[in-house]
Amino acid sequence: PHWRRELVHAGGAARLAPCWRGTPGMAKKKRSGPPKYIGSCGIYVAATGADGLTVLLIHRRSKQVSEPLQLAAPGGIVERAACQAAPASIFGAPAEIDFDLGARNTAVQELREETGITLEDWQGESPEELPVD
């Protein structure tokens, strides 16, 4: 979309400040084994253009999801597979789960899919985490 091109190419000086948040615990239990989905995440991006104007990226949710037509940040469902910091051992030990790792990676992926914005590697590796009580 035109707004993204303007944001990213605003005098070559647009600066993105991504912040993410993951919320574990919305797992849907499968008939057997661990649940596939283990939480949700969102990513908030504040972008400052060459003119100094800072905007917060949000979108309106579709009618087909929970909380239809509400304003929201890009985000999605965190899958267990995205949270595997270390693979399962050949001796049967389960894979090590790191929810924060999976939520952060899912948030960056959802930002790219929903907006077309691809974060630089250094931005995607360590976006600020939002504190939520």
Do residues 30 and 19 make contact, with C-beta atoms less than 8 angstroms apart?
no
The mean-pLDDT minimum among 22-26, 95-99, 122-126 falls in: 122-126
Tell me what pLDDT residue 119 has.
80
Q: Where are the beta strands (DSSP E) in the chain?
A: 15-24, 37-48, 54-57, 59-60, 71-72, 75-79, 84-86, 96-97, 128-129
| Mean pLDDT of the 102-115 span | 88
Which has the closest alpha carbon to 80: 54, 49, 61, 105?
Answer: 105
Taking the C-alpha atoms of residue 130 and residue 83, their distance in angstroms, rounded to an integer, is 19
Q: What is the pTM of this model?
A: 0.67
Going by pLDDT thresholds of 50, 70 and 90, the confidence category of residue 123 is low
| Mean pLDDT of the 66-93 span | 78
Going by pLDDT thresholds of 50, 70 and 90, the confidence category of residue 8 is very low
The mean-pLDDT minimum among 9-13, 26-30, 96-100 falls in: 9-13
